[in-house]
Amino acid sequence: MKIALAQINLHIGNFEENTTKIVYCIKKAQQFNADLVVFPEMTVCGYPPLDMLDYKDYADKCQDAVKRIAKICTNIAVILGSPSHNPNKQGKSLYNSAWFLHEGEVKSIHHKTLLPDYDVFDEYRYFEPNNEFNIVEFKGHRIALTICEDLWYDQNFDNGFGNKRLYTVSPMDKLITMKPDFIVNISASPFSWSKIQDKKDIFINTSLKYGVPVFMVNQVGANTDLIFEGGSLVVNQKGELFDRVSWFEEDFQVYELNEVLNTPAHGTDKASTSVMEMIFRALVLGIRDFFAKNSFSHAILGLSGGIDSAVTAVLAAEALGHENVHAVYMPSEYSARISGEDSRKLAENINISFSETSIDKIAGSFIDTLKPMFKNLPEDTTEENIQSRIRGSMIMAMANKLGFIMLNTSNKSESAVGYSTLYGDMIGALSVLGDLYKTRVYELARYINRNEEIIPETTISRPPTAELKENQKDSDSLPEYDILDEILFRYIEQQKHSSAIIEEGFDSEIVEKVIHLVNSSEFKRHQSPPVLRISSKAFGRGRRMPLVAKF
């Protein structure tokens, strides 16, 4: 049996485009004489469709698309993902389903059992869990058909309460009793730089436990904040990686089942050995798809001479083309000469358009106008924030007038502790670096410069500063980033209490201060742009904290 894996980039709700891609891949599989072609989870509608699933006509369009696709499956079988209606009068209205198509019709529908409701996932909101298990019989082979999380039963779910299993039922324990010859898993599993090996282990351990090969096809592309890396794979019955499909791009591969079963695994794994390369490619894909799927073309951002804006500009130029990115440098009386020089040099290095305009007169006018209301109170962060808001307003004005989309350049460290200005440096349509701690941003800059100096070396080597007052440095207000980021990682990603962090050797006063800043800045993050997620716990839908609380 020949099995094709079709790793495609899906556009949520774009039934016409998605169906066209699916049909193209089916015809391509037929040219390769494939018997079966497998597509990702939620193929016809894209993942995650969120509250679009609350509209019955949306679910109806999904099923209509599946039935149209089924009509061309006359000499080939297809497995694809789509919502399906729950015929029962109890429970949720929909299932998250894998559809088996053959001989011009829908032969069977198999529902997802394990519905994740942690981090960015909320599938129990929309779907009824499966409780019936069946095997697909096709051309003398028995197929265990699973959907993404269905193979994640054995994962350790440690959320601070101790290691435990998240689910009480294992779909494969049910299906293995029916003696399948191989497992198919259709997935829409988003990228996290720390989870690449964990994902691989899930499929290797599954094949080892049950003694059958696994064919997994994952969605690729980005939908708003979620980036899907692809990386579909085949694991043989011995738990050996037989092949890995490409990362961060569409791909199509055909495998002979007998070769997977009988040929020694060659261990091809196209995974990059560099985490930074993975992160770079993920962010580029996130920007590119955000613009393409929204029919945007031109980006604008503020350059400051600092590391964050420089890295964002490089990523934008890589994603959209240098001709589609414009940068603005807006110095004040506190801006160092080197900041302007580095901004201009970066724009030249990546060949993006560049403009410069001072904010001194506007800032002076603001402050003069407000003086009577300030009642001779001493200067503080108010005057600093005015500068930031002026810059934000100027870039947004240019974006409106010239048809640009503004990119936000704030990093995760700043967002975490509120070292940012509402309606100033926090504005933008998309936060590119909002899931990278400051130390990671520096690592990414060094990756960008691995072959030649693209980001000026002085941008990387200078102490970070907002340049909103004389001789200002970030370390005036915050711990050094190498300490700050370690504390933040433990509190946000690992969800550790302050006492546990202090026990690891961190200064208790610093830890308590940092956690207080994180908790008191929640109202700011609720007004931030969507963040491209590249970690296991990004700000946004994956970390839902109350605005008003005391803990």
Choice among 12-26, 63-77, 225-239, 265-279 with the minimum mean pLDDT: 265-279
Question: Which comes out higher in pLDDT, residue 473 or 50?
Answer: 50
Query: Model pTM?
Result: 0.95
Confidence category of residue 471, pLDDT binned at 50, 70, 90: confident
| Range 507-536 average pLDDT | 95
Cross-sheet strand order for the sheet of 2-7:
105-111, 94-102, 77-85, 36-38, 2-7, 251-256
Check pLDDT > 80 for residue 160: no
**pLDDT at residue 188, rounded to an integer:** 97
Confidence category of residue 157, pLDDT binned at 50, 70, 90: low
Given the residues 45, 61, 62, 112, select the one marked as catalytic: 112
Confidence category of residue 338, pLDDT binned at 50, 70, 90: very high
Mean pLDDT score of the chain: 94
Q: Which domains does the chain have, with CATH numbers?
A: 2-271 (3.60.110.10), 278-475 (3.40.50.620)
Q: Is 179 a catalytic residue?
A: no
Instruction: Answer for the pair 181, 141: CB distance below 8 angstroms, yes or no.
Output: yes
Q: Which of 95, 116, 99, 109 is nearest to 40 (CA)?
A: 99
**pLDDT at residue 253, rounded to an integer:** 97
> What distances in angstroms separate CA 506 from CA 333, 449, 477, 490, one per listed residue?
38, 32, 18, 11
Q: pLDDT of 276-325, one tens digit each?
A: 999 999 999 999 999 999 999 999 999 999 999 999 999 999 999 999 99
Given the residues 45, 62, 73, 148, select the one marked as catalytic: 148
Choice among 32-36, 270-274, 441-445, 539-543 with the minimum mean pLDDT: 270-274
Rounded Cα distance, 191 and 282, in Å: 8
Rounded Cα distance, 301 and 102, in Å: 50
| Range 364-380 average pLDDT | 93
* pLDDT over 90, % of the chain: 88
**pLDDT at residue 166, rounded to an integer:** 81
Question: Which comes out higher in pLDDT, residue 272 or 243?
Answer: 243
Q: pLDDT of 182-229, one tens digit each?
A: 999 999 999 999 899 999 999 999 999 999 999 999 999 999 999 999
Cross-sheet strand order for the sheet of 141-147:
136-138, 141-147, 182-187, 214-218, 233-235, 241-244
Q: pLDDT of 33-74, one tens digit each?
A: 999 999 999 999 999 999 999 999 999 999 999 999 999 999
Q: Which amino acid does the sequence have at 404?
A: F
Q: pLDDT of 200-213, one tens digit each?
A: 999 999 999 999 99
Confidence category of residue 171, pLDDT binned at 50, 70, 90: very high
Confidence category of residue 162, pLDDT binned at 50, 70, 90: low
Confidence category of residue 477, pLDDT binned at 50, 70, 90: confident
**pLDDT at residue 158, rounded to an integer:** 60
**pLDDT at residue 387, rounded to an integer:** 95
Q: Which amino acid does the sequence have at 450?
A: R
Indicate the DSSP class of residue 486.
H
Q: Is 41 a catalytic residue?
A: yes
Check pLDDT > 90 for residue 269: no
**pLDDT at residue 230, rounded to an integer:** 97
Given the residues 41, 123, 149, 229, select the one marked as catalytic: 41
**pLDDT at residue 161, rounded to an integer:** 60
Q: Is 457 a catalytic residue?
A: no
**pLDDT at residue 53, rounded to an integer:** 96
Confidence category of residue 167, pLDDT binned at 50, 70, 90: confident
456: tokens are 């000026």
Rounded Cα distance, 37 and 101, in Å: 10
